[in-house]
Structure 1
Amino acid sequence: MPNIYLIFSHKLTSEQEKDLRQNWQVEKFIALPEHLQELWSNIPPDLPELNCYLEPIKHWLKENARSGDLVLIQGDFGAVYIVVNYAFKLRLIPVYATTERLIKKEVSSKGEVALSRIFRHKIFRVYGR
């Protein structure tokens, strides 16, 4: 049974955990260590390139994950691109979460319109090469 390595800035919802256990047979959920989570969650917007900056995360993945494990990767577009490609190189399965967006519209007696957005987990999708 595969493990999943979590490289993103949020917490998994109970629906997401259930999906991973039932549909992907995930055994263990492994979060980034705190210092690497801080690195991932605060990528400086003024860095001209990210390869060196991401080296500690790539090293952690290489040292811990085994072929066939999943990696949930979401965040800064450039960082995601680099880490997804690195995951493929390690023979890991990089995935991302998809959501269904529901918009609820309420009109008050005064004619005011209030919109609320609900994001509901749907599936995990494997990144394409």
Structure 2
Amino acid sequence: MPRTFCLLNHVLTQKQLAELGEKFNSIEVVYPEKNLAELWAQIPPEKSNEEVVGSVVSWLKGESAPGDLFIIQGEFGSTFTLVDFALKNGLVPLYATTRRVAKESRSGETVRREYVFEHVCFKKYQYFE
């Protein structure tokens, strides 16, 4: 059974975990250590991404195996580089698709709009043929 390596800024929901088991036959989720998760969450915009990408690659090389899943979303350039790494090294990179639902409330002349993001499904990153 493949393991799922998760590089997001939040833990997976019960619905997401259920989908991983049902659709991808994965029952184990591996999150990065706290320092790597914090680094991923706050990539400095003025610096090169090499340190962050290198740290994630080291984590994956040390723990993952071909066929494992890799859920990744975040800073675009680093995500692109890591998806390319995953595809070239036998990992299955995934991203979550969501449905955005707007909720609006009014109080006198004040209008408040809140967006709730609901998980729809995971999709595979893939090269265009």
TM-score > 0.5, shorter chain as reference: yes
Judge conservation of contact 2:87–2:126 (CA < 8 Å) in 1: no
Q: Deviations over 1:37-74 (max 9, x none)?
A: 12211211101x32344212101101211111100001
CA RMSD for the aligned pairs?
1.6
Task: State the identity as a percent.
Answer: 33
Describe the shift of the 1:6–1:114 C-alpha distance in structure 2 as closer, same or farther (beyond 3 A): same
Q: Could you tell me which residue of structure 2 aligns to residue 80 of structure 1?
A: 79
C-alpha distance in 2 between matches for 1:4 and 1:53: 20
Does 2:19 match 1:19? yes
Q: Could you tell me which residue of structure 2 aligns to residue 45 of structure 1?
A: 45
C-alpha distance in 2 between matches for 1:117 and 1:96: 20
How big is the shift at 1:92? 0.4
Q: Could you tell me which residue of structure 2 aligns to residue 68 of structure 1?
A: 67
**SS in structure 2 opposite 1:95?**
strand
Describe the shift of the 1:107–1:42 C-alpha distance in structure 2 as closer, same or farther (beyond 3 A): closer
Does 2:101 match 1:102? yes
C-alpha distance in 1 between matches for 2:8 and 2:103: 28
C-alpha distance in 2 between matches for 1:76 and 1:92: 20
**SS in structure 1 opposite 2:17?**
helix
**SS in structure 2 opposite 1:119?**
strand
Describe the shift of the 1:116–1:56 C-alpha distance in structure 2 as closer, same or farther (beyond 3 A): closer
Judge conservation of contact 1:62–1:90 (CA < 8 Å) in 2: no
The amino acid that maps onto 2:64 is A
- Of 17-26 and 98-107, the range deviating more from structure 2: 98-107
| 1:109-120 alignment runs, 5 A limit | 110=108, 112-120=110-118
C-alpha distance in 1 between matches for 2:33 and 2:81: 19
**SS in structure 1 opposite 2:70?**
strand
Where does structure 2 lack aligned partners over 5 or more consecutive residues?
Answer: none
TM-score under structure 1 normalisation? Answer: 0.88
Q: Deviations over 1:23-49 (max 9, x none)?
A: 1111210000122112211211101x3
